[in-house]
Amino acid sequence: MTAEKLTLVEAVAEGIHDEMKRDESVVLLGEDVGRSGGVFRATEGVYDAFGPERVIDTPLSETGIAGAAVGLAASGIRPIAEIQFMGFSYAALEQLFTRAARMNARSRGQFPCRMVLRAPFGGGVRAPDLHGESMEAIFVHQPGFKVVVPSTPRDAKGLLTAAIRDPDPVMVFEPKKIYRAFREDVPEESYETPIGEAAIRREGEDVSIFTWGAVTRPTLEAAEAVAEDGIDPEVVDLRTLSPMDRETIVESFKKTGRAVVVHEAPKTGGLAGEITTLLQEEALFYQEAPIERVTGWDAVYPLYDLEDFQLPNATRVEEAIRSAVEE
């Protein structure tokens, strides 16, 4: 495969373009996704390539966007619906939870809801209210959805491609803090990153760290920092939150006996609790120390003055690693 250096947001745009070129049933809809190329330019160039019949600038109505996507999917079209920020998706939950997630089961497979909902999520960009949400656990809790979160440009294109081709509704949450943070080689050809498979970003023997999204990068920084003192962490990027790669999580923990879970979302009701429970159920006798959680605080997401305090950083992750190992 030939490759090109892309940012995460460029990889998203390329993934959309490639699938729309490959499959004429794929359409794109959302606020400003057409002529302007989206609020983060994630759909730049797609309107020029495929025109207004397949790239649809919608009114400012998240309920309408989600409802239209469900209707298109029921008609055999494969919609990619964009919600500008995860926090705006709250208005769309009625359509997503009562229609998209249930259509396949309620129709006994006669009307599969083949749709993708994309939304930038997470904090770190100094944005106003409702622009920094990390509420992925809400969508994981709803049966019928698949939920993916890329942390690299290569995975962004591959997971989005897999999501568009998937027979179920897939929520693709893109960590906007790292949209343009770095570049890496991304194959020019079309490819899929399998949904449901985690990636081990760093192999280690002493403690397992489970994470996803933008906080994967500070987690890796913390892992390298403690490695200088002889601690050997393993970093597992989940990539898919539903269905979660339970086997990789459990096997990593069996190897190390210690764990840290890192995510931006609030601690209470967050997926760190679900992962902790999984380890208790499947690998209790391998556990050597209490499982540490590094998360956002249980508070309404703050405005930009306090944003850095809200987000997990390398220092907090490093402290949690040392605490887990020293127990």
CA dist 80 and 46 (Å) reads: 12
pLDDT digits (tens, 9 = 90+) for 254-267: 999 999 999 999 99
| 235-252 exposure pattern, b = at least 16 Cβ within 10 A, e = fewer | bbbbbbbbebbeebbbeb
Class of domain 3-187: alpha beta
Residues listed for the chain? 327
CA dist 142 and 66 (Å) reads: 16
3-187 and 199-326 have identical folds: yes
| Residue extents of the structural domains in the chain | 3-187, 199-326
The whole-chain average pLDDT of the chain stands at 96
Residue 53: partners with Cβ closer than 8 Å, 6 or more residues away? none
Confidence of residue 152 (pLDDT cuts 50, 70, 90): very high
pLDDT, residue 304, reads 82
Longest CA–CA span in the chain (Å) reads 60
The residue among 90, 72, 88, 89 whose CA lies nearest residue 80 is 72
Strand order, beta sheet including 199-202: 199-202, 233-237, 207-211, 259-266, 292-296
pLDDT digits (tens, 9 = 90+) for 41-80: 999 999 999 999 999 999 999 999 999 999 999 999 999 9
DSSP 169: -
CA dist 255 and 187 (Å) reads: 33
Beta strands in 15-148 (DSSP E): 26-30, 55-57, 78-82, 116-121, 146-148
Query: What average pLDDT score do residues 24-47 get?
Result: 97
Give the residue numbers annotated as catalytic, written as ranges: 131
pLDDT, residue 151, reads 98
Q: What is the pTM of this model?
A: 0.96
Class of domain 199-326: alpha beta
Confidence of residue 173 (pLDDT cuts 50, 70, 90): very high
DSSP 3-state of 269:
coil
Sign of the Cα pseudo-torsion (74, 80, 82, 88, in order) = positive
Count of CA atoms in the C-beta half-sphere (13 A) of 7: 14
